[in-house]
Amino acid sequence: MKNKETLISRDLSKNQEYIETQYSHGVNMDFVSRPLTAATGRYHLFFYSTTVDTKQLSNHVISPILSSKKDVPLPALLAVPGIESLKDMKKVEDALSSGYVVIFQEGCREAYAAKIPDLKHRAIEKAENEKTVKGPKEAFTESLDTNISIIRKRLPSKDTIVENVEIGARPAMSVSLVYIRDLANPEVLDNIRKRLKSISVDTVCNIEILEQFIEERPLSLFPTMLYSERPDNASNYIAEGFIVLMMDNSSSCLIAPATIWSFFHSPEDRYLRVIFGNFSRFIRASAYLITLFVSAVYIAITNFHSQLIPIDLLLAIAASRERVPVPVFIEVLIMEFAFELIREAGIRIPSPLGPTIGIVGALILGQAAVQANIVSPIVVILVALSGLSSFTAANYSINHTLRISRFIFICASSLFGFMSLLGAIMIWTVYLVSIKSFGVSYMSPATPSTKSTHDTFFRILLKKERWRPVFLKPQDKDKQ
């Protein structure tokens, strides 16, 4: 049953009073309540001056009303692209909050919302965090409409669906699920909807927060949704049967389900010719291995398995460590920590001070530390190598996984050399294969194997990619 208070009255002044109290007119500096007297009767306009397009307001709303001679219904009179009739005050409030202009007419039981919002956002810019040399450059921006328009441009089809799900209460925000109707697995879609509906907090303002509410294992070391700022990446995934989540105020999207490979791949791998792309993947794979294991292996070898090192090299290492007072483990830990400090500072430091980081990093933590006999030069080389390699990560989320895992392996290898290191690797890997993202095994399609594009470590010729990733159980498996 509708509450009597929320109904729109025929009496314009009553409506005016109601809205003005609700929106704290007079306190809220940008809330405009404007009466309008035309030849056809009395009108009243409400809007936020900061969220509507004032030019359109005067040209396409106010002037037609003032110049009209006959009593034509408002939808026929106003020359704006979207106009909606509102039956009760709840809808009026929603429309006002979304940045529309709401028009009341004397003696009329309904109000009209003219959709001329002008919400400010950044222009479309180049992708900052996922750079490519070959391939499109545009990135998502903080406006949902713009982002969806970019996706629509890439997937112009009636099957591309943008579905909204409301979450939160203060204010209710909508999450857009973008997918292809006859590809995406309905079970996964339902699961995502269910997870979205089960969010019970008041505010989820952007996709980065949303990710933490809907992922399966919030405490896990591995992200289970792919976070990307590239529209081309998103639309490629949509075309394969994945589902993309977007929200206003986020210049990125979430792609679900995610496998470990999606974090390892860069969209550029597909834009480059197959050999070039695979070469780049090979370099990246080596870099991942280096960043995870180089320091740990150094500790294991020097502490426990020194017989493995050829005698000349062993003497060189011993000589360089001669005057270093701390054990190798502590030495490596100090340097790794210092590197993490530089990295963290590099992100937070205001850009005019940026060059300082270079000087501090290179001179003080590198050269001076060696000269002061706190660390040996070989450790500086190793830490620099592992740090540099960690920057090759194609995705920011996996970058953290690699860095934290590195510390786990360093600690493990200091216990029992290769034995404890391999034990840690076993546990780490078995955890990796055991997790699932929205019902999809994290290592698919390598293991468990299914028909797919076989795009794991290396990719095959695009012409030979016959199947969509079947681990998603898409409605149409055949790609060709």
Partner 1 sequence: MVLVKRPLKTRELLTMAWFMVGLKSADTTPAMLAGHTKNAVWLVPIASLLFLLPSFLLLMHLLKKHKNYNLVELIQHLLGSKIGTLLCLLIFLSAFIVIVLDLRNYVEQINYLYFPNASTTFIFTIFLLVCFITASKGLESIGSISWMFMPFILFTIIFILWLGQSNAVWNRIFPIFGSGLGVILTEGWNKSSLFLEMFLLTIGYQAFREPKFFRRGIYLGSGLAFFFITFFYLTYAIVFDYNTIENVAFPYQETTEIVTLGHFFTNVSTFFMVGWLICSFLRFSVFLYLLVWTFGAIFKVKPFESYLLPFCFLILTLGSIAPSFVTNELSVREVVLEYISPIFLLFPFLLWVMSLLRGRRER
Over the window 337 to 376, marking each residue x when it contacts partner 1 by CB under 8 A and - when it does not, the resulting string is ----------------------------------------
Q: Which sign does the torsion angle of CA 217, 390, 279, 426 carry? A: negative
Left, alpha or beta for 451 (phi > 0: left; psi -120 to 50: alpha)? beta
User: CB of 252 within 8 A of CB of 150?
Assistant: no
Q: Which of 18, 329, 418, 458 binds partner 1 (CB under 8 A)?
A: 418
Pairing mode, strands 243-247 and 173-180:
antiparallel
Burial of 409 by CB count in 10 Å (0-12 exposed, 13-18 middle, 19+ buried)?
Answer: buried
Kindly state whether residue 438 participates in binding partner 1, applying the rule CB under 8 A.
Answer: yes
Q: Which is nearer to partner 1, 54 or 450 (CB)?
A: 450
Q: Which of 26, 107, 156, 310 binds partner 1 (CB under 8 A)?
A: 310
Q: Which of 12, 77, 225, 301 binds partner 1 (CB under 8 A)?
A: 301
Candidate segments 109-117, 172-180, 361-369, 413-421, binder of partner 1 by CB under 8 A: 413-421
Q: Which amino acid is at 311?
A: I
Q: Which amino acid is at 234?
A: A
Q: Which of 25, 473, 477, 479 binds partner 1 (CB under 8 A)?
A: 473
Q: Which of 90, 131, 273, 305 binds partner 1 (CB under 8 A)?
A: 305
Take residue 404 and report the two structure tokens written for it.
């934290």
Q: Which of 439, 458, 465, 467 binds partner 1 (CB under 8 A)?
A: 439
Q: Which is nearer to partner 1, 47 or 471 (CB)?
A: 471
Kindly state whether residue 417 participates in binding partner 1, applying the rule CB under 8 A.
Answer: yes
Kindly state whether residue 441 participates in binding partner 1, applying the rule CB under 8 A.
Answer: yes
d(CA 345, CA 336): 14
d(CA 290, CA 292): 5
Kindly state whether residue 391 participates in binding partner 1, applying the rule CB under 8 A.
Answer: no
- Cα separation values, 242 from 235, 256, 363, Å: 9, 6, 47
Q: Give 117's strand partners.
A: 52
Of residues 201 through 220, those in contact with partner 1 by CB under 8 A are none
Q: How far is the CB of 434 from partner 1 (least distance, A)?
A: 4
Q: How far is the CB of 208 from partner 1 (least distance, A)?
A: 24
d(CA 399, CA 402): 5
Q: Residue 79, Cα to own-chain centre: how many angstroms?
A: 37
| Binding interface with partner 1 (CB under 8 A) | 185, 187-188, 191, 301, 304-305, 307-308, 310-311, 415-420, 422-423, 425-427, 429-431, 433-434, 436, 438-441, 443-444, 446-450, 471-473
